[in-house]
Homo-oligomer: A and B are copies of this chain.
């Protein structure tokens, strides 16, 4: 449930050799592939290890718990979202419009692999991890709202984080089958228009 990436494979440092980087990549890829089939259940540690071609013990050396593995997979998804946004930035004219744009783009991305999304979101919420979804998503929202993270005052940071929280909950409701894409859009728009109302255009 915890365990900080200390020595072995911190996202950046700690990987000495090329083969270790490749092992890590293979593991993440196997994990994502399995999860996008049957969700967390299908993503069994033994299966991941087998499919990645490493021993179970090695898998646990790279990712001390299943949660750590899930978190790493999510990290990759977020990387993809961020680069997608860099490539094609939200075009809306208001800060809240841009925020909604980004959130709905993320929603569509996650909807494409519902099992994966379900597994990832839930795991994230559970994780004791530092800087999981919340913070990264809030930072992203601040940026698309037009503020560098450094320039935001506390109130703005709180509001951006709040919008992130609302989105996460809506996503969860969607995964439970209680929201459609359109529901989410409407609800996020309502919340965003209030929360980001007085952000500088």
Contact = CB atoms under 8 A, between A and B. Distances in A.
A195 interface: yes
Interface stretch (A5-13, A70-78, A98-106, A121-129): A121-129
A44 to B, nearest CB: 15
B158 A190 contact: yes
Interface stretch (A56-64, A141-149, A166-174): A166-174
A67 to B, nearest CB: 12
A122 B128 contact: no
Nearest to A121: B125
A: contact size bracket:
20 to 34
Contact of A155 (B169, B173, B190): B190
B162 A166 contact: yes
9 contacts: A122-B125, A125-B125, A134-B173, A158-B190, A162-B190, A191-B195, A194-B194, A194-B195, A194-B197
Interface of A: 122, 125-126, 128, 134, 155, 158-159, 161-162, 164-166, 168-170, 172-173, 176, 186-187, 190-191, 194-195, 197
Given A158-B186, A158-B191, A195-B195, 10 more contacts: A126-B126, A158-B187, A162-B187, A165-B165, A165-B169, A166-B166, A168-B169, A169-B169, A194-B195, A194-B197
